[in-house]
Amino acid sequence: MSKSGRPREFKDTAVIDAAMESFWANGYEACSTEDLCKQTGLGRGSLYNAYGSKHELYEQALLRYHETGIQAQIEILNRQGPVKDRLRALLDWAIQEDFSNENRRGCLLINAAMERAQRDPAVERLFKRHVDLLEQALQQAIEAGQLSGEISRTHQASDLARLFLSNYYGLRVLNAAAQNRERAVQMGNATLEIVF
């Protein structure tokens, strides 16, 4: 990318993706403007001209991560077939994401929430939206499983969705912190046993 000045309306997904990588590697606080310029290929003036501030670029990077991640997760839960297979596929997707060769840094949104949600309303709002959408999709899948007889009606679908969700996010935090794929698979299996 050229380091020459760019108009303010310039919003390139390649730049946002590059900035996302920098924030993902360093976190918000430790990510300097120099890091962002190096990663995106933009000069300081172009970066701030196009995105206004480091925080605005951070918000756009998180929003892009949220949009692609939530779409992938909801698509998995909305597939045809047994609900247990869909929930297993969601756990497998998370484990693959968390242990892929390129990304051993965990979930960017979880990392952002742990670092900044208590003092950054934009991060708190975006993480809440992500969790709410995933919880809704989980509840719908579990309700479908209860209607088909795959899942017992002993517990309300909303309670099972929240239980699965808490295990899912706990798994993803442990994946980032402990980097133990075997344990992640065992935890995924245990989560499915609880629901089914």
Query: pLDDT by residue (tens digit) across 56-82?
Result: 999 999 999 999 999 999 999 999 999
For the chain, the residue count is: 196
110 compared with 11, residue with greater pLDDT: 110
What is the pLDDT, as a whole number, of residue 136?
98
Query: Three-class SS string for 144-163?
Result: HHHHHCCCCCCCCHHHHHHH
125 compared with 13, residue with greater pLDDT: 125
pLDDT band, residue 3 (cuts 50/70/90): very low
Give the contacts of 131 (CB within 8 A, at least 6 positions apart). 165, 169
- 8: pLDDT strictly greater than 70: no
Token pair of 96 as six digits: 């693959």
CB of 69 closer than 8 Å to CB of 130: yes
Report the mean per-residue pLDDT for the chain. 90
What is the pLDDT, as a whole number, of residue 176?
86
**Three-state DSSP state, 41:** coil
Phi, psi values for residue 43, rounded to 5° = -75, 160
Token pair of 110 as six digits: 């979880």
Closest C-alpha to 170, from 106, 92, 99:
106
pLDDT band, residue 99 (cuts 50/70/90): confident
Q: Is the dihedral of CA 176, 173, 134, 151 positive or negative?
A: positive
What is the pLDDT, as a whole number, of residue 102?
62
**Three-state DSSP state, 180:** coil
pLDDT band, residue 11 (cuts 50/70/90): low
Token pair of 3 as six digits: 């380091």
How does pLDDT run across 103-152, given as a tens digit for each residue? 667 899 999 999 999 999 999 999 999 999 999 999 999 999 999 999 99
The Cβ of residue 33 has, within 10 Å, a number of other Cβ atoms equal to 13
